[in-house]
Structure 1
Amino acid sequence: MRRTMMAEKLAIGGGTPILTRENYKNWPVLTEDDRRYVNEVLDCGIVAGATGPQAVALEKEWREFTGSKYCLTTGSGTAALHMALAATEVGPGDEVIVPSYTFLATASSAMHQMAIPVFVDIEPKTYTIDPSKIEAAITPRTRAIMPVHIQGCPADMDPILDIARRHDLRIIEDAAQAHGAMYKGRMCGTMGIAGAFSLNNLKNLCGGEGGLFVTDDEDVLRKADLVRYFGDECDERTLRQKYNASILGYMYRNQELPAALARGQLKHLNALNDTRIRNSEYLTRELSKIPGIIPPYCPPNCKHVYWFYAVRFDPQAAGLDVDPRRFRIAVEKAVFKEGVLVGQWQVMPVPGQDLFHSMIGIGKRYPWAINEAQGITYHYDPQDYPVAQMLCDTYTNIHSIHPPNDVDLNEKIVAAFHKVFSNLGEVMDHADDDIRPGFDGRLYGVG
């Protein structure tokens, strides 16, 4: 098979691609359960409200799925993160430790609480926050740590929880990409004082949009519920709003239609995750045979649910003495022309984004200005996070693991990588071609 691939002309050089867009099937997988729950909303006429039947049912079912005592539906995973910070009394001038490789919302949710994100580099195998680097980032102002179970891979929670206990810090888990992921028998998102999940269209549990907030602490639940809806309390007897806000809150409620869709999807979450795992393990097994490709890693005694499937490229292992970033760009373009839907998610460490250099923030340099008034300064340089920078230079995502795609598609993906890695000299000649890898929105249910 490899000899045949060597004889084939690369698609980037005018040859025939291995795949076409028609080989891919779109996410989410919609079933009669989804239609039934959505139709229940249309039939009953209740389309909104924190006590709507679909939202209440989803909260109950997610509690049961995760083993959490309490759950609130939210308008987004970002809203759930902000609610968690506010409910655990993280406030102005406090510092929140977050990983340098994540989605912006992990850090920006702290800023919306007027707290200051402090970044810590990631582990080179899991791409989650490196526990060995957390304590060096702790100051008298540190209030919380926000580990992220990135792309469905559990963060190493035991040492993080130990650090939090010793320093009296809150753990708020960003499990936006980790529905059903497990760490040593424990559900991701449930090990800290609060956890946040996203329900947007790309996620393993899809509601179109929305989020889920979980906690085992009744006081945290009560405060989070206030934050969720303008800080306004309900009358315990009539269950009606008092229209008398006791704290500053927001409009973070979910709606009935997204909750209904998420309920239908939840019925099949384990099976859908099993397909992701099966596809990912096949790719890992086969791609690891190609020198220069580094598949994602699943830690021992953990369940990785593969929201995305990230591979790194190592030119030295492939036998080339070239810049690693340029090598990734060239390979990415070549496999994309073979019909493989690839592309980066985050293109730089979060502290490299303009927000953390302009420091405009909220108004005039807030939240940083709070501590700057006391002579404390903050400087964000992506080079201070070499593992995150290395990852951003060398990785791409392969968009073929989500159901209903199966091993048949991924066999073609592997064939495309063999073809490309059998012709790396020619691949490097096309590194500067005007080719923009990525995927169309339909692949993940976006119009």
Structure 2
Amino acid sequence: MSERLAINGGNSLVPEGIEKPWPIITQDDIDAVTGVLKRGELWGPEATEKTALEKEWAEYCGVKHCIVTNSGTSAMHACVAGVGVETGDEVIVPAFTFWATAQAVLCQNAIPVFVDIEPVGYNIDPAKIEEKITDRTKAIIVVHAHGLPCDMDEINAVAKKHGLKVLEDAAHAHGAVYKGKKTGNLGDMGMFSLNGTKNLPGGEGGFVTTNDPDYYEKARLTCMFGEKTVPKENIRPYDAYTMGNNYRPVEMTCAFVRSQLKRLDEYNAKRLVNVKYLSDELGKIDGIITPVDPPDRTNAYHIYRLMLDPRAAGYPDIDPGDFRWAVQNALFAEGVPVMEWHSFPVPGQSIFKKLDAYGKGCPWNCGHARQGIKYDSNDYPETQKMFAASFVLYNMYASNGLELMKYYVDAFHKVFDSLDDIATDPKYYKRVRASV
């Protein structure tokens, strides 16, 4: 007889408080930050920690240029501006991403054009890009979703054929590798986030990477009020050449990230140990589809997504979305932090329904934009299927080890051994916890 599920009044399987927090903060990290405070150099276009971090991250990614910014969102905007996207231009964006990817396009008064994902790795589908290209298309943004590099050879081939720029949203993919090259060095420009949840955490912050000096300079202007940076010993001219913002980081963040960077590969390796154990064990359970790991790339696994198949689990008549909610709710009650990472395609968000970003319908009704663009979530069936039938699991962080992963696996077995108690009961077919 199976053990009573926690969602039905039984005891939770995962011990409360066993999860260890991320990031791991060491004495070296603390010393790096306090060292900045003691020196008193807190900020600056060419500040010591910022300049050193830019050099170190460029070397890590194998690129010539890097800019540190105050967020991944600002880094994405700097990339879009860097390749010269202008008013009325169109930029290809995957339907599955954090909306800041598309927001960066709107920041240039340009138009996001969405493309559905492929159903295995959940990245933009290269086969569906070309049909969305028009004479207004300027660039393609690829998102290495959850840390898995996209199919870059195919994407770069399409871009080259049509004279388009390729921008990498590598917010999830610090240290991920595609055919021997690191993310951030797989297109014309790349961006990373240093949000506190990321594989390389800084609280908040971001990177811009590129090998092109012109793109680098345009991105720098975007990050520095549209002004050119001058050496410390020179007088600042206060002369804006173009539109720009204050996207500069603070020195404490840069110092902390430099310290964390020394351990990034070590932490990523520990994360992969956790993921391998989860995939090996959960893959034995009928109805669970674990993430793919193509042999030509290394996944950074910022997030671990599991797809559920009710037919394989023995419930062919249950809607995949209902089945997923029943399992997700039961697992969460057992202490497994499964949750949604977004719930519907980005083009289904309100701003794209209203077609109004800046008021008065801009930029869609701008005279420079192609008219008649509409957005409908139903145009992205693979993205919708993924959201309906899957959830994500955090806590594969290097701060946690196989002890916690084993508790998670045991909780999955407990729930799947008692599916009859939840799978056919509609009261479990709804969200009982907000997403993050």
TM-score, with structure 1 as normaliser:
0.94
Find the counterpart in structure 1 of residue 413 from structure 2: 418
TM-score by length of 2: 0.96
8 Å contact from structure 2 (residues 348, 375) kept in 1 = yes
How many residue pairs get matched?
Answer: 433
Using the alignment, how far apart are the partners of 2:346 and 2:435 within structure 1? 20
SS in 2 for 1:403: coil
CA deviation after TM superposition for structure 1 residue 193, in Å: 1.2
Q: 1:323 aligns with which of 292, 316, 319?
A: 319
Q: How does 1:190-205 map to 2 (within 5 A)?
A: 190-205=185-200
Contact 1:126 1:299 in 2 (8 A): no
Unaligned runs of 5+ in 2: none
| Alignment match, 2:174 | 179
Q: Does 1:267 align with 2:238?
A: no
Match of 2:432 in 1: 435
Q: Give the superposition deviation at 1:438.
A: 5.7
Q: CA deviation at 1:268?
A: 0.2
Find 1:139's aligned residue among 118, 130, 134.
134
Q: 1:62 to 1:323 in 2, by over 3 A?
A: same
Unaligned 5+ segments in structure 1 are 1-5, 440-447
The secondary structure found in structure 2 opposite 1:390 is: helix
The change in CA–CA distance for 1:247 and 1:374 in structure 2 (over 3 A counts) is closer
Mapping of 1:188-227 within 5 angstroms?
188-227=183-222
CA contact (8 A) 1:234 1:242 kept: no
Superposed, 1:384-423 pairs within 5 Å as 384-423=379-418
CA distance, structure 2, for counterparts of residue 266 and residue 322 of structure 1? 46
Q: 1:103-134 deviations in whole A, cap 9, x for unaligned?
A: 00111100001110000010111100000000
Determine helix, strand or coil for the equivalent of 1:57. helix
Q: Does residue 15 in structure 1 map to residue 10 in structure 2?
A: yes
Contact kept? 1:80, 1:212, Cα under 8 Å: yes
Query: Does 2:82 correspond to 1:87?
Result: yes
Give 4+ residue runs of structure 1 displaced > 4 Å after superposition: none
2:160 matched to which residue of 1?
A: 165
What pairs with 1:99-178 in structure 2 (closer than 5 Å)? 99-178=94-173
Pair 1:333 & 2:329 matched: yes
Structure 1 376/392 Cα, relative in aligned 2: closer, same or farther at 3 Å?
same
Letter in 1 for 2:181: R
Change (3 A) 1:125 1:23: same
Closer, same or farther: CA 15–323 of 1 in aligned 2, 3 Å = same
Structure 2 distance, partners of 1:174, 1:83, is 12
Give 1:382 deviation, angstroms: 0.9
1:364 and 2:360 matched: yes
- How far residue 374 of structure 1 moved from its aligned partner, in angstroms, is 6.8
Find the counterpart in structure 2 of residue 313 from structure 1: 308
Task: Please say if residues 79 and 211 of structure 1, whose CA atoms lie closer than 8 Å, have aligned partners that are also in contact.
Answer: yes
What's the secondary structure of 1:305's corresponding residue? coil
Given the superposition, is the C-alpha separation of residues 437 and 314 from structure 1 closer, same or farther in structure 2, using an over 3 Å criterion? farther
Deviation at 1:223, TM superposition (A): 1.3
Deviation at 1:82, TM superposition (A): 0.8
The Cα offsets for residues 84-112 of structure 1, whole Å up to 9 and x where unpaired, read as 11121101000000101000011110000
Does the CA-based 8 Å contact 1:110-1:116 persist in structure 2?
A: yes
Match of 2:238, SS state, is strand
Of 215-224 and 330-339, the range deviating more from structure 2: 215-224
How far did 1:433 drift? 7.0
Paired amino acid for 2:314? G
Q: What's 2:57 paired with?
A: 62
Q: Could you tell me which amino acid in structure 2 is paired with residue 241 of structure 1?
A: R
Is it true that 1:379 corresponds to 2:386 in the alignment? Answer: no
Instruction: Supply the distance in 2 between the matched residues of 1:30 and 1:225 (Cα, whole angstroms).
Output: 31
Q: Give the structure 1 partner of residue 348 of structure 2.
A: 352
C-alpha offsets along residues 388-429 of structure 1, whole Å, 9 cap, x if unaligned? Answer: 000111111112311211111111101111110111121232
Structure 1 residue 63: Cα displacement: 1.0
1:10, 1:16 within 8 Å by CA — same for their partners in 2? Answer: yes
Match of 2:339 in 1: 343
Contact kept in structure 2, 1:149 and 1:174, CA below 8 Å: yes
Is the alpha carbon distance of 1:237 and 1:398 closer, same or farther for their aligned partners in structure 2, counting shifts above 3 Å? closer
Give the C-alpha shift of residue 138 in structure 1.
0.4
The range that moved more, 195-204 or 391-400, is 391-400
